[in-house]
């Protein structure tokens, strides 16, 4: 507490809390909450409980653009703002591609397959790029792709929160149409929703959250897929105002717990964030799929 | 309430024409025609989902194409026969969505909205279903919930696409009488498509028949026999 109110840089404990612990906690809260909300948006937009920013390849868009930016050697792109813009742009590009495909594809399973293909395409592309990277660049890119909450520094926190707040403003406009969209496009249109505008805004907000979090923390898998499903199961509602708050809270707590677990294990084994979320998230998804088949 | 003039209904190719027809408030219209004659396309055209090939539709003397989407949602409510229910969406919350065109930007319901929702649920006699999920009620109950939602939308026009399709005989009669009562008491113009010619004749509804050979839609005059109607439409 003292580290926040009367910060004294000379004190080592206070330094650790302020410079390391607090940014890491905030990163966990923003990443967990933001990805869960992004997942919920994708699930309502595509009317598919298995949709999420990771499976639909929106994360991969960010990864690809960040890889291009870091390896291109352009000085603008190596700066912090450059990485964020690349990640946001990549997420928006790939989100729009998926949205475009969704106009032609009726089956929700096909859409997920296209998302996976897009993801596969960009990861192969990244591997090709990596062969041209220097050892230094390769290491930083590999570490980044494992996902981590520790890269965030105190000065960067402000930028993260500002962009996150912009996403939240967009999100607040989406609450009302989201509630109508669960009835399907035609019924939503009949209730006065401008479906085209809604889709564009929905994909933009998802891209902001996903791109921002991917830029700072790397591509984090499964959180955006598993948490919205758990939230719906717990809250048993289709009211998106409630779902947004609940997703944020559960997503944040989930990632804080995962991160605490990683920190506890640190003396013995260094666990990449992405590995832990996948180990927990993948079985949850399998359970959901099995339940739906029944 | 709704006026059609020289309207050609169709999707790519013409299905049928309406020379000159007015639908009035306070009446229940049954749309009857053989399979593929264009009943659903006609409803989709009034709904704004499909554009007519040519001709004019006007609602309350306003040209249809000039009415903005937001205003349309306060004029026309649509009851789809394809609603299969949604997990965790209760009947009450489903009916509440009917208030969507009137709520503020985050969709908060006012006390008046709540009164209208409760009234709509009560009118359809589904108060005991209020807290049940729309996914786990019967087809008939879901149909009632959909009509309650359309009532909550407080529109002068209600369109229903084959509302009797999944109902048993008793429920069909009850539904048609209920719709007639709503049209009468609330002075609404209600249009529904169906295949129950006998039932519609018995209940003395206004019948819109799609003429198979002339490819046109006309309001039937009362003195036609069932045999004559069958010859025209089927």
A197 has a chain B CB within 8 A of its CB: no
pTM: 0.88
Q: Which residue has the tokens 């890119």?
A: A141
Q: What pLDDT shows up at residue B10?
A: 86
A150 — pLDDT class (breaks 50, 70, 90): confident
Q: Nearest 5°: phi and psi at B213?
A: -80, -40
Q: Cα–Cα distance between B99 and B197 in angstroms, integer?
A: 34
Domain spans, chain B: 1-75+156-170+182-234, 84-154
**Among A198, A276, A230, A156, which Cα is nearest to A164's?**
A156
B137-153 pLDDT per residue, tens: 988 899 999 999 999 99
Q: Of the given ranges (A99-103, B35-39, B72-76, B228-232), which has the lowest mean pLDDT? A: B228-232
Q: Specify whether the CB–CB gap between A259 and A271 falls below 8 A.
A: no
Side-chain half-sphere of A88: how many Cα atoms within 13 Å?
17
Question: Which pLDDT score is estimated for A75?
Answer: 53
Q: Could you read off the pLDDT of A2-34 as tens digits, one per residue?
A: 556 666 666 777 777 667 788 889 999 999 999
CB contacts, 8 Å: A182 with chain B: 86, 89
What is the DSSP code (8-state) at residue B133? B
Dist. CA A193–CA A185, nearest whole Å: 9
- How long is chain B? 234
pLDDT tens readout for residues B151-167: 999 999 999 999 988 88
Structure tokens at A106: 């009726």
Dig out the tokens for A121 from the structure.
């395409």
What's the pLDDT score for residue A43?
92
Q: A184 to chain B nearest CA, in Å?
A: 9
Domains of chain A: 2-293 (1.10.3470.10)
Percent of chain A with pLDDT over 70: 92
Closest residue on chain A to B84 (Cα): A183
Interface test with B, best of A48, A168, A186, A190 (most B CBs within 10 A): A190
pLDDT band (50, 70, 90) for residue B113: very high
Q: Which residues pair with B57 in a beta bridge?
A: B4
Contact B105 A179 (CB under 8 A): no
pLDDT at B127: 92
Minimum mean pLDDT range among A24-28, A154-158, A282-286: A154-158
Report, at the CATH architecture level, how domain B1-75+156-170+182-234 is classified: 3-Layer(aba) Sandwich (3.40)
d(CA A105, CA B132): 33
**Residue A78, pLDDT above cutoff 60:** no
Name every residue whose Cβ is closer than 8 Å to that of residue A194 and which is 6 or more positions away in sequence.
A177, B69
């Amino acid at each position: 507490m003292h580290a926040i109110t009367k910060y004294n840089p000379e004190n080592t404990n206070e330094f650790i809390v302020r410079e390391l612990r607090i940014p890491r906690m905030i990163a966990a809260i923003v990443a967990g909450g933001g990805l869960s909300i992004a997942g919920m948006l994708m699930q309502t937009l595509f009317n598919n409980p298995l949709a999420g920013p990771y499976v639909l390849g929106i994360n991969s868009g960010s990864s690809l653009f960040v890889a291009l930016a870091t390896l291109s050697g352009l000085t603008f792109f190596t700066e912090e703002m450059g990485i964020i813009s690349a990640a946001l742009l990549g997420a928006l590009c790939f989100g729009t591609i998926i949205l475009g495909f969704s106009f032609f594809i009726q089956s929700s399973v096909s859409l997920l397959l296209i998302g996976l293909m897009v993801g596969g395409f960009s990861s192969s592309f990244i591997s090709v790029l990596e062969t041209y990277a220097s050892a230094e660049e390769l290491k930083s890119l590999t570490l980044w792709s494992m996902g981590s909450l520790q890269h965030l520094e105190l000065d960067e926190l402000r930028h993260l929160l500002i962009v996150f707040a912009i996403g939240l403003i967009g999100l607040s406009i989406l609450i009302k149409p989201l509630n109508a969209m669960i009835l399907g496009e035609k019924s939503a249109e009949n209730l006065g929703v401008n479906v085209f505008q809604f889709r564009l805004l929905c994909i933009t907000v998802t891209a902001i959250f996903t791109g921002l979090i991917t830029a700072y923390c790397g591509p984090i898998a499964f959180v955006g897929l598993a948490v919205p499903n758990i939230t719906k199961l717990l809250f048993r509602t289709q009211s998106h105002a409630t779902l947004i708050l609940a997703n944020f809270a559960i997503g944040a707590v989930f990632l804080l717990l995962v991160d605490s677990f990683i920190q506890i294990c640190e003396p013995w084994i260094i666990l990449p964030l992405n590995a832990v979320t996948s180990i927990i998230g993948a079985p949850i998804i399998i359970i959901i799929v099995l339940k739906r088949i029944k | 309430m709704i006026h059609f003039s020289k309207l050609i209904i169709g999707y790519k190719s013409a299905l049928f024409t309406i020379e000159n027809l007015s639908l009035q408030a306070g009446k229940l219209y049954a749309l009857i025609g053989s399979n593929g004659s264009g009943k659903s396309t006609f409803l989709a055209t009034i709904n704004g989902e499909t554009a007519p090939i040519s001709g004019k539709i006007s609602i309350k003397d306003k040209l249809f194409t000039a009415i903005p989407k937001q205003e349309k949602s306060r004029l026309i409510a649509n009851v789809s026969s394809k609603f299969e229910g949604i997990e965790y969406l209760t009947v009450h919350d489903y009916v509440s969505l009917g208030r969507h065109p009137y709520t503020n930007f985050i969709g908060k319901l006012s006390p008046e909205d709540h009164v209208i929702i409760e009234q709509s649920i009560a009118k359809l006699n589904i108060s005991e279903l209020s807290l049940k999920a729309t996914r786990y009620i019967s087809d008939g109950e879901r149909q009632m919930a959909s009509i309650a939602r359309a009532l909550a939308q407080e529109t002068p026009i209600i369109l229903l696409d084959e509302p009797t399709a999944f109902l048993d005989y008793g429920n069909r009669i009850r539904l048609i009488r209920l719709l007639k009562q709503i049209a009468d008491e609330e002075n609404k113009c209600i249009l529904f498509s169906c295949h129950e010619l006998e039932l519609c004749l018995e209940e003395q509804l206004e019948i819109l028949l799609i003429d198979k050979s002339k490819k046109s839609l006309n309001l039937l005059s009362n003195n036609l026999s069932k045999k004559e109607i069958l010859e025209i439409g089927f």
